[in-house]
Structure 1
């Protein structure tokens, strides 16, 4: 029943009744309150329906349109994988790696391990597990399974940070020219230029070449990693150790 009609019927019923002004006023207020309550009941379910429709629409749009992160989560190209490894390897020193390595070395020097069993106990220490976790956390996504362990054992990752420690020298990757083998498309031999700079702003450069062989069973993963050529018979390690001697030469 519409509010206007309810008011008309109410006054029709009450016109012949002899009531005080206060009673009439109270009756009118009671009727008005009843009508307002009924109106709220009608509005509230409608509001809920609209809210449900809005939420459903939002969820549909969200599912149909993935976030930028999801859209960009596509496999890296081989060139991007190579660049990611070189940027980590030739920008240093890596202070976190050095901290973890020193913690492990200090533990070994402070703790006697007279037999294999005692040394195995050291390998369960936080110092060792933190260091070992840092390798896969840094490089793990770029190498095929099992390869990273052999690189760690042969000191082919973080290979220059130890020499940069306790010096005022920083190493930076300057440029990379990535060359793919024509006859072997899974082999890349990038030409790399790095710089060494001390706190006085003195800088020298070094050029080397590395080899990346991508796995045929795990696409996008490096299956082998080697240094093939180091600048004209002088190694980068030697230039770090004897930096001042090479300042005037480059």
Structure 2
């Protein structure tokens, strides 16, 4: 009888420990998801707020550009990119992102006198892959004090499976012709 009571206590303690371990694993997974969503939010804020005049100056100012071994380099711009986006992307994707998307909206807005304002972001982790997130950003854009309009910008982000919390692939998919509107 006494052994049975001890076994019941041990079983109870074991079940409590298993439950607590399950809760910790569940909480840490949710924490990673929240961190990933914060990374996406921050990158979209950098893309659709401003554009940042110092960033634009670093990108376009000919004083910062020089040709080394037949290739144009801009150390000031590279430093700005690293400081702004470096914590959020894998090293290889950061270069790809900047060449493909990273300057597209801010520089087009800057060149044509538009201000961008990130209004809202919805982010959803997809069921197909745990490291894939889709986003919809509501972006306000306004030219020289004119009437503000908004556009929805959609895209997908894959987080690296090797570097936790770092974007391994970033792509825009739709933008309700925002880039064309900013080009006018």
The partner residue of 1:238 within 164, 180, 183 is 180
**CA deviations over 1:2-45 (Å, ceiling 9, x no partner):** xxxxxxxxxxxxxxxxxxxxxxxxxxxxxxxxxxxxxxxxxxxx
Please name the residue that 2:159 is paired with: 214
The partner residue of 1:196 within 141, 155, 158 is 141
The answer as to 2:48 corresponding to 1:90 is yes
Preserved CA contact (<8 Å) 2:58 2:64: no
**Offset of residue 219 of structure 1:** 1.1
- RMSD after superposition: 2.3
Higher helix share: 1
Q: Which runs of structure 2 are paired with 1:95-244 in the superposition (5 Å)?
A: 95-104=53-62, 107=65, 117=69, 119-120=70-71, 123=73, 128-154=74-100, 156-231=101-176, 235-242=177-184
Preserved CA contact (<8 Å) 2:55 2:80: yes
Higher strand share: 2
**Offset of residue 97 of structure 1:** 1.5
Following superposition, which runs of at least 4 residues in structure 1 exceed 6 angstroms of deviation?
none
Q: Please say which structure displays the higher CA radius of gyration.
A: 1
In structure 2, C-alpha distance between the alignment counterparts of 1:230 and 1:200, rounded to whole Å: 22
Q: 1:139 to 1:107 in 2, by over 3 A?
A: closer
In structure 1, C-alpha distance between the alignment counterparts of 2:145 and 2:65, rounded to whole Å: 35
Q: How many pairs align? A: 153
Preserved CA contact (<8 Å) 2:112 2:183: no
Preserved CA contact (<8 Å) 1:104 1:131: no
Q: TM-score, normalised by structure 1?
A: 0.56
**CA deviations over 1:179-223 (Å, ceiling 9, x no partner):** 110131210011111011233341111012111100111111110
Show structure 2 runs of 5+ residues with no match. Answer: 1-30
**Offset of residue 107 of structure 1:** 4.8
Preserved CA contact (<8 Å) 2:48 2:106: no
Higher relative contact order (CA 8 A, sep 6+): 2
